[in-house]
Amino acid sequence: MYKEKTVQTNVCIECGDRISYGRSDKKFCCESCKNRYHNRQTQTSRQYRQKVKSSLERNYYILDSLRRTSLRNIPVADMKSMGFRFEYFTSYVKKQSKETFLCYDMKYCISGGVVTSISKVNAEI
């Protein structure tokens, strides 16, 4: 009976070259492809975290600037046009229907499409 020889058909997930030796679950053809692949994964994660940090910093700056003005009710749409990203905050509390957000030690409430009560809390570490 003819028996076909098992042929390794895996390809390197970094460069696409065939992997002709090693374990059948091997993903890379060589150490440098493995390192290149993992470095890129790490870099992507780092860039994402940096983007979130930058957005939080920008939000903080906007809140701090508004806190120093006489404005007390700022429409959400106005905050967005200033570059405020409502999807980024560091803490959130909902009591009854009142939603309170924190951006580090900067507190603000959102009610009826308006941002109110911007204040700095006593941050204790």
What is the smallest separation between the CB atom of 119 and Zn ion, expressed in angstroms?
Answer: 55
Q: Would you say 30 or 93 has its CB closer to Zn ion?
A: 30
What is the smallest separation between the CB atom of 5 and Zn ion, expressed in angstroms?
Answer: 24
Q: Would you say 34 or 67 has its CB closer to Zn ion?
A: 34
What gap in Å lies between CA 115 and CA 96, rounded to an integer?
17
Evaluate the CA torsion angle 19, 25, 30, 35 in order and state its sign.
positive
- Residues at the contact surface with Zn ion, assessed by CB under 5 A: 12, 14-15, 17, 29, 33
Q: Would you say 12 or 110 has its CB closer to Zn ion?
A: 12
What is the smallest separation between the CB atom of 71 and Zn ion, expressed in angstroms?
Answer: 57
Burial of residue 78 (number of CB atoms within 10 Å: 0-12, 13-18, 19+):
middle
In sequence order, the β-bridge partners of residue 119 are 107
